[in-house]
Amino acid sequence: MICGIDEAGRGPVLGPMVVAGVKVEDDLLLREIGVKDSKKLAPKRREKLAEEIKKIADYEIQIIPAEEIDVLREEMTLNVLEAKLFATIIEKLTLCSNTRSSTPNSIAKDFIVYVDAADVNEENFKRYILNELGREMNIVSEHNADETYPVVSAASILAKTTRDEEIKKIEEEIGKQIGSGYPSDQVTISFLKEWMKEHGELPPYTRRSWKTARRIVQLYKTSRIEEF
């Protein structure tokens, strides 16, 4: 039994982070349907593959809102937060569907988990996850695992498509285009600045602990002072 875990939306200033895990007996079917790193797939292709993955694999998805990320960042680093989320996914997948009658320790012996390492040090990230789990487990922690292991590619596809859906929901609620949510996206930055100018505060779904958000607030305050 193998499992792959990846995230989407770690770095954005706007919107949630999504962590997804996929569990299969082996990756043969995933290879046959053509999974690959979600960043290398067109949106429509990602959506189609996400549907197919859900039919042939056990999966778990965690959506972490911006407000919750801000609160948790007061207590821990982003790497530790991500490790906690990965551990939660592992716990759920070790107990889902046909393995519900097994104990975590018995499952762990035959369970290999591949994760896309968030830390610069791959082994450190593995240790973070194991610390959260509180037991030994066969974890392979590598950078760019979504390009190497189909099961991690599948997880990246579920994470990315889910986050895209969440961004669409936010746009529908707010009634404006918000872009991808990343600081490098000028649509996102323009939206944040315009909202700040109109309302005097950052919009909902903003990660206020991010440097980009704090900088926009400071720019707004400075411009108000200069007006007087």
Q: Report, as an integer, the average pLDDT of 28-36.
A: 91
CATH class of this structure's domain 2-170: alpha beta
Q: Can you tell me the mean pLDDT for 90-110?
A: 62
Confidence of residue 104 (pLDDT cuts 50, 70, 90): very low
Q: What are 140-187's pLDDT values in tens digits?
A: 999 999 999 999 999 999 999 999 999 999 999 999 999 999 999 999
Superfamily of domain 174-227: Ribonuclease hii. Domain 2 (1.10.10.460)
Which residues on adjacent β-strands are paired with residue 22? 4, 59
pLDDT score recorded for residue 195: 95
pLDDT, residue 221, reads 85
Question: Is residue 103 very low, low, confident or very high in pLDDT (cuts 50, 70, 90)?
Answer: very low
Looking up tokens 């005097």, which residue turns up? Answer: 200
Domain boundaries, the chain: 2-170, 174-227
Nearest by Cα to 147 from 54, 41, 57, 53: 41
Is the per-residue pLDDT at 96 higher than 90?
no
pLDDT value of residue 39: 82
Distance CA 193, CA 174 (A): 15
Strand order through the sheet with 2-8: 58-64, 17-24, 2-8, 112-116, 138-142
DSSP state of 208: T
Assess contact for 177 and 191: CB atoms under 8 A. yes
CB-side neighbour CA atoms (13 Å) of 210: 24
Percent of the chain topping pLDDT 90: 84
